[in-house]
Chains A and B, each alone.
Chain A
């Protein structure tokens, strides 16, 4: 790792000002992507601005129709939250399926959603639960937030402060892992909202990152049961193909995980 200067601001204002003042800064949250990347010398920020001590980024607020999670909340905290589990057990299950125990103790929801790894779990929940991403300067609807691989609508220096999920009537999350890396080769978050709208968000498979699978949404809107998506496949031109899984295999897996998510609505996570 190249040399870097570590900062731990106590307020949002201090963090944003610092980012503007210094050259080549990066925000640090759990750091479980950024630090390995820095160790591999694939990133070399001259300044690291740790956002975990900023009070606005902490805490979980649960209302009847909203779940608001501070960006610096660890995966372990979300996984163990009884308040969240009572409303959306699949959100706890998703958080508890990320990485391993040690990673979940440190990695944060904000870090994951700001990094937008195409195989990350949280982006699927953010999109399927029609979320709003609150930053230090504005609120961004999930539909306008994800912007391709490792890319989001966040501007340089903008801090993701909290994520507001809509509580659905029911939801399910199913994941098929790469057996070696344990990352999702394909995972589906399916939610039926209280207004009757169904959202199907797919992660791990899209060649532009997380996406809503419109055909599956239409099919499930007509008939909300596993068989509704039987035989349905996304266009494999839109999917990643690599040494782990060619695009047509990923398309097949997308169908499988979507069906499984619908089969296990109301559960935690199915693998």
Chain B
């Protein structure tokens, strides 16, 4: 057992956990944040994607104990109360989901892609960078539309802020 301190969505948490606890188990079972999904459990599908210290990672393949002191953002940390994050709103507007199981991972990966590219994205880049997220409904076209729309909004907002 280890005492592990991790900040999740801005709130510091310290938990006594088994060393084998995966980050996704820490989030779901210890903090009750079940928005992060376990799809394949083999590092392939990306449904468990969260952002650790600014990087999108697959939380099913990281030991919680190994990111002691880190700052994690999950799908629960995006919306501002009732107001959806721009990427969430874009998925809603463009119907970027069918069954919705992959959506939390898709959205977290997309938020990270948009931030890493400062909102400057084209379809090829989005498709390439979303390689690690699988949608078994194969609803990729609308997901890509949603990400491009949200990236446009991000770019405009940041250009306005810089002006």
Residues of chain A whose beta carbon lies under 8 Å from any beta carbon of chain B: 1-6, 8, 28, 31-32, 35-36, 38-39, 48, 50, 52, 76, 99-103, 105-106, 182
In the complex, whether B82 has a CB less than 8 A from a CB of chain A is: no
Residues of B within 8 Å of A76, CB to CB, are 55
Q: Are A102 and B66 in contact (CB under 8 A)?
A: no
- In the complex, chain A residues whose CB is within 8 Å of the CB of B61: 31-32, 35-36, 106
Q: Roughly how many angstroms separate A201 CA and B109 CA in the complex, as a whole number?
A: 34
Q: How many A-B pairs with Cβ below 8 Å?
A: 73
Which residues of B have CB within 8 Å of A2? 20
The reply to whether B63 and A102 form a contact with Cβ atoms under 8 Å apart is no
Given contacts A5-B19, A103-B43, 15 further A-B pairs with CB under 8 A are A2-B20, A6-B2, A6-B63, A6-B66, A8-B66, A8-B68, A31-B61, A32-B61, A35-B43, A38-B20, A39-B42, A48-B19, A99-B132, A101-B56, A102-B46
* CB pair A102 B109 closer than 8 Å: yes
- Whether B41 pairs with A39 at a CB distance below 8 angstroms is yes
Give A230 Cβ to nearest chain B Cβ, in Å. 31
Query: How far does the Cβ of B155 sit from chain A's closest Cβ, in whole Å?
Result: 20
A31 & B62 in contact (Cβ 8 Å cutoff): yes
The distance from the CB of A81 to the nearest CB of chain B, in whole angstroms, is 15
Complexed CA–CA distance, A3 and B65 (Å)? 13
| CB-CB under 8 A for A28 and B19, given A36-B42, A101-B109 | no
| Known contacts A3-B20, A6-B2, A32-B43; is-contact A105 B57 (Cβ 8 Å) | yes
Query: Quick one: which of B27-82 are within 8 Å of A by CB?
Result: 41-43, 46, 49, 55-58, 61-63, 65-66, 68
Q: B interface vs A, CB < 8 Å?
A: 2, 18-20, 22, 41-43, 46, 49, 55-58, 61-63, 65-66, 68, 109, 112-113, 129, 131-133
Residues of A close to B20: CB separation below 8 A: 1-4, 6, 38
CB distance from B102 to the nearest CB of A (A): 13
Residue of A nearest to B63 (CB): A6
With A100-B46, A100-B131 known as contacts, the answer to whether A50 contacts B56 (CB < 8 A) is no
Complex Cα spacing A119 to B46, Å: 22
Contact A105–B56 (Cβ < 8 Å): yes
CB-based nearest A residue for B48: A102
A-B CB proximity, top 3 nearest: A100-B132, A6-B19, A105-B55
Measured between beta carbons, the chain B residues less than 8 angstroms from A35 are: 22, 43, 61-63
Contacting pair B18 A101 (CB below 8 A): no
Nearest CB on A from B149, distance (A): 20
**B113 contacts A101, CB within 8 Å?**
yes
Could you tell me the distance in whole angstroms from the C-beta of B120 to the nearest C-beta in chain A?
16
Across-interface contacts of B2 in A (CB, < 8 A)? 6
Q: Which of B22, B46, B66, B112 has the most CB of A within 10 A?
A: B66
CB distance from B54 to the nearest CB of A (A): 9
With a 10 A CB-CB cut-off, give which of B46, B49, B61 has the most chain A CB atoms. Answer: B61
CA distance A8 to B66 in the complex (A): 8
A31 touches B63 (CB 8 A): yes
Q: Which residues of A contact B49 (CB under 8 A)?
A: 102
Inter-chain CA distance A5–B66, complex, in Å, is 11
| Cα of A100 to Cα of B129 in the assembled complex, Å | 7
Subset of 16 A-B contacts with CB under 8 Å: A1-B20, A6-B66, A8-B68, A31-B61, A38-B20, A48-B19, A48-B63, A52-B66, A100-B133, A101-B109, A101-B113, A101-B131, A101-B132, A102-B46, A102-B132, A103-B58
Select from chain A the residue with minimum beta-carbon distance to B61.
A35
